[in-house]
Structure 1
Amino acid sequence: MEKKSIVAIAKDSSIELMVNQVLEELGGAENLIRKNSTVILKPNAGHLGAPGTSINTHPELLRYVIRAVRAAGAKRVIVGEAAAIGCDTMACFESAGHAAVAREEGAELYDIKSDKDLITVQIRDARSDIKSIRLPRLLLEAEHIINLPIFKSHASMVFSCALKNIKGVVQDKVHYEMHKTNLAMAMMDVWSVVRADLTIADLIYPAEGFGPHSAVPLDMGCVVASKDPVALDATACRMVGLDINVVDYFKAAKERGLGVSDEDKIITKGKSIDEVYKKAWLPYLEKFETWPEYNIMHENSCSSCQSLVAFSMEKLKALGEYEKNKDAIIVLGAKKELPDVPKERLILCGNCLTKWRSKGVAVHGCPPSEPHIAWAVIDREDQTEIGEGFRERMAAEEPIWNAYIDKIVKEKRKEE
């Protein structure tokens, strides 16, 4: 009989109770954690975001996982993260509330990006352009890695949870290189050499809307856990009404043999999906007919670039740039031919259009960085680097964007 993956779902007002419940459903922390072991906990703390914003993992989830692994006999508990390019990891820990929890619970804080004791690891049968990566010795030698993601909508990959969270174990250079190749495949290549033993996911207030920076907390009140990150992500998607067939993660994960996503191959324990189901607002998957004023050529495109273009259309509206740039033709997905128009009108999104870059405004990356498509439309200049001025420009646009999102959310709530 084919072995099935177990996913535990808990729903309760007590985070402590939920953490303990999902661990018990998976056999108990004492059977999951070796005594006197080193345990690295990997929350999502990639960006500045206070508790309650759903940008980062809930700090109380971190607290009760620390307590559980300590009670199971762990000798050393380390909270580790490599924040997004241009972000300071320790500042993100402080902002997320993780630093305070670690101090109160006696756990170490670990900035993976600052670690200089690195080992080069070859990736066998790499599916992306990342053939090897330099990873911290501490990360590779720890007895356990426990993945603590938050489920949130995400411009680059439609959603972020278990699989994407492990992207935060690499240095900035690798982080950047991953965006220049096929990101979904690159993430699975990283998983092939850095495997979390267990994932405990935060669906307490998962993020709907235009995440990761403009997240809208959805009151769901769940914690989900599994040894299989693919099964967990697939289950989390079903809990919020996201069709896994429109997300590139799962095909890439299947090719890498990292886990199962088919519902009949997953056993849910604790609560059922039906008991906790709550439809999330995931606007990255809106049809392109939502923006009829623009010619969007999207045949053969992936969900990552589709979601980024959806985000970019709304970003243009928020910034007051939508109407004035309707002449732009936005192209995503591999193409055999392109329209013969002036170069500045053709916005070429992603690396699958590399051979056409001389014909238009090129937005590099697979997928491109979150703001680059909108900036290409506005500036009519190639967008290649997450370099000087990137974070400053994002920061300047953030309050305008947030005000725009707040207005949409208020209107959405009225309709409900």
Structure 2
Amino acid sequence: MTKSIVAIAKDPDIQVMVDQVLNELGGANTLIRKNSTVILKPNAGHLGAPGTSINTNHNFLRAVIRAVKAAGAKRIVVGEAAAIGCNTMECFESAGHAQVAREEGVELYDIKSDPDLIKVQIRDARSEIKHVMLPRLLLEAEHIINLPVFKSHASMVFSCALKNIKGVVQDKVHYEMHRTNLAMAMMDIWAVVKADLTIADLIYPAEGFGPHSAVPLDFGCVVASKDPVALDATACRMVGLDISMVDYFEAARERGLGTSDENNIIIKGKTIDEVYKKMWLPYLEKFDTWPEYNIMHENSCSSCQSLVAFTMEKLKALGEYDKNQDAVIVLGAKKEIPEDIPPEKLILCGNCTAKYRNRGVAVHGCPPSEPHIAWAIIDRMDQTEIGPGFRERMAAEEPIWNAYIDKIVEEKRKTTPSKDK
């Protein structure tokens, strides 16, 4: 078996790191054809300002654009399909990607708004996604370069190379992917949209309750590979995450997409031991992290999953967690909900649950506004819009939440070993 190469760079200068990992893989000139069209696929799925690590670092995007330009690309397109309910162009602006694109003279591309779609069959589909409508531009471009940020994620423990390619599909497919085996559905998408190269942002990867309430960790690395499975597995080893705890890797093995086996991966540049830093990734037990609550999350999307996970911790921060354990929290499309749940206990999150709104406490939105699920649980009142008192209540809760997270991070730092044995 041919071994996969993963390059790791660590340096204060982002451009230096990008150039180093490309050189370790043979150089940008050998990876990118002259006069080609190159699609750059960062993570810009949610609103999140530079410095939050919710999205790919904007200066990292700039460094990749410059490296691709230097290799002689004719057309560079920064493309994304933001999460369900999110506006891609607004996310680009929020992340700083739009400003970088304007300054560097490259295109911004909202994959979700492109009407020129081609139906692509997925051979030997392992999930219920048997075909997908994909933009002609994406299929005809000579190169796709995947630019994820490594971050904690409610639906899949972490997000990096493999999950980032999920952002090339329309909202309808996003929704359908969450109604089947999500890990396998992502691998089915990879079977028809293969990025030539992944360059991952581990400059300030996001630990904690991501993607909505992430804590940037000063890690200072860039990682690159032609094999997204090998890259993700290596990134996990760099941050102390046991890959056997993540569904991605078995699904990728079944699909034959790459290798996660250390014996079949060649590390170039820095070693894992040289850059190792344990990250706080609290979603290993997923919703079992909060066993006191009945959370019905089947068929839900990552946006609502992340919001509910954030809500559980916010309830703890506000001293409301123990008081509200009678709540039954529902997210995602459901064919039926048990009839015996009292209306004041049934918390219906997001527009997927709209048909049941007369049966409980409704939280409107796709996705709902960040604090509304917590307020619905605390107040047992419908949450429909950003109305009077919204900003004042948010402002009052923010220092309480920040102090709670700071305390957890401080405790984690005190107890984290320098290297797992």
When the two structures are superposed, what TM-score results if normalisation uses the length of structure 2? 0.80
Partner deviation per Cα, 1:18-45 (whole Å, 9 max, x = no partner): 0000000001000000111100000111
Q: 2:268 maps to which residue?
A: 269
Q: 2:402 maps to which residue?
A: 406
Q: 2:48 maps to which residue?
A: 49
Instruction: Give runs of aligned pairs for residues 62-81 of structure 1, distance below 5 A.
Output: 62-81=61-80
Instruction: Give runs of aligned pairs for residues 17-166 of structure 1, distance below 5 A.
Output: 17-166=16-165
Structure 1, 85-94 or 223-232: larger mean CA deviation: 85-94
Aligned-partner SS, 2:207: strand
Structure 1, 84-93 or 203-212: larger mean CA deviation: 84-93
Q: 1:323 maps to which residue?
A: 322
Aligned-partner SS, 2:62: helix
Q: 2:194 maps to which residue?
A: 195
Give the Cα–Cα distance (whole angstroms) in 2 for the partners of residues 80 and 132 of structure 1: 21
Letter of the structure 2 residue corresponding to residue 46 of structure 1: G
Task: Give 1:194 shift.
Answer: 0.5
Give the Cα–Cα distance (whole angstroms) in 1 for the partners of residues 394 and 154 of structure 2: 15
Q: 1:411 to 1:78 in 2, by over 3 A?
A: same
Structure 1, 176-185 or 55-64: larger mean CA deviation: 176-185
Conserved 8 A contact 1:283-1:310: no
Aligned-partner SS, 2:283: helix
Letter of the structure 1 residue corresponding to residue 78 of structure 2: V
Instruction: Give runs of aligned pairs for residues 227-306 of structure 1, distance below 5 A.
Output: 227-285=226-284, 294=292
Give the Cα–Cα distance (whole angstroms) in 1 for the partners of residues 376 and 320 of structure 2: 9
Q: 2:334 maps to which residue?
A: none
Q: 1:385 maps to which residue?
A: none
Conserved 8 A contact 1:118-1:137: yes
Letter of the structure 2 residue corresponding to residue 224 of structure 1: V
Q: 1:107 to 1:348 in 2, by over 3 A?
A: closer
Q: 2:299 maps to which residue?
A: none
Give the Cα–Cα distance (whole angstroms) in 2 for the partners of residues 258 and 398 of structure 1: 44
Q: 2:10 maps to which residue?
A: 11
Residue identity over aligned pairs, in percent, reads 73
Q: 1:312 to 1:285 in 2, by over 3 A?
A: farther
Task: Give 1:331 shift.
Answer: 11
Conserved 8 A contact 2:283-2:289: no
Give the Cα–Cα distance (whole angstroms) in 2 for the partners of residues 43 and 398 of structure 1: 30
Conserved 8 A contact 1:156-1:308: no
Give the Cα–Cα distance (whole angstroms) in 1 for the partners of residues 147 and 136 of structure 2: 21
Letter of the structure 2 residue corresponding to residue 195 of structure 1: K
Conserved 8 A contact 1:11-1:222: yes
Task: Give 1:150 shift.
Answer: 0.3
Aligned-partner SS, 2:63: helix
Letter of the structure 2 residue corresponding to residue 142 of structure 1: A
Partner deviation per Cα, 1:307-336 (whole Å, 9 max, x = no partner): 98765532433465423322357899xxxx
CA RMSD in angstroms, aligned pairs only: 4.0
Letter of the structure 2 residue corresponding to residue 267 of structure 1: I
Q: 1:142 to 1:401 in 2, by over 3 A?
A: farther
Conserved 8 A contact 1:35-1:74: yes
Letter of the structure 1 residue corresponding to residue 157 of structure 2: V
Task: Give 1:73 shift.
Answer: 1.3
Partner deviation per Cα, 1:345-389 (whole Å, 9 max, x = no partner): 79999xxxxxxx9xx99xxxxxx99989967993999xxxxxx95
Letter of the structure 1 residue corresponding to residue 406 of structure 2: K
Give the Cα–Cα distance (whole angstroms) in 1 for the partners of residues 287 and 89 of structure 2: 39
Aligned-partner SS, 2:232: helix
Letter of the structure 2 residue corresponding to residue 139 of structure 1: L
Partner deviation per Cα, 1:164-215 (whole Å, 9 max, x = no partner): 1111111111112212222111111111100100000000000001000111
Letter of the structure 2 residue corresponding to residue 282 of structure 1: L
Letter of the structure 2 residue corresponding to residue 63 of structure 1: R
Aligned-partner SS, 2:125: coil
Aligned length: 389
Task: Identify unmatched segments of 5+ residues in structure 2.
Answer: 297-301, 332-337, 350-355, 361-366, 415-421
Give the Cα–Cα distance (whole angstroms) in 2 for the partners of residues 201 and 165 of structure 1: 10
Give the Cα–Cα distance (whole angstroms) in 1 for the partners of residues 313 and 80 of structure 2: 30
Give the Cα–Cα distance (whole angstroms) in 2 for the partners of residues 246 and 306 of structure 1: 18
Q: 1:347 to 1:50 in 2, by over 3 A?
A: closer
Q: 1:211 maps to which residue?
A: 210
Conserved 8 A contact 1:43-1:79: yes
Aligned-partner SS, 1:164: helix
Q: 1:269 to 1:128 in 2, by over 3 A?
A: same
Give the Cα–Cα distance (whole angstroms) in 2 for the partners of residues 130 and 26 of structure 1: 33
Aligned-partner SS, 2:151: strand
Task: Give 1:262 shift.
Answer: 1.5
Partner deviation per Cα, 1:87-130 (whole Å, 9 max, x = no partner): 11111111111111111111111111111100011111111111
Give the Cα–Cα distance (whole angstroms) in 2 for the partners of residues 390 and 132 of structure 1: 36
Q: 1:308 to 1:97 in 2, by over 3 A?
A: closer
Conserved 8 A contact 1:157-1:248: yes
Conserved 8 A contact 1:315-1:374: no
Task: Identify unmatched segments of 5+ residues in structure 1.
Answer: 299-303, 333-338, 350-356, 362-367, 382-387
Conserved 8 A contact 2:212-2:310: no
Letter of the structure 2 residue corresponding to residue 264 of structure 1: N
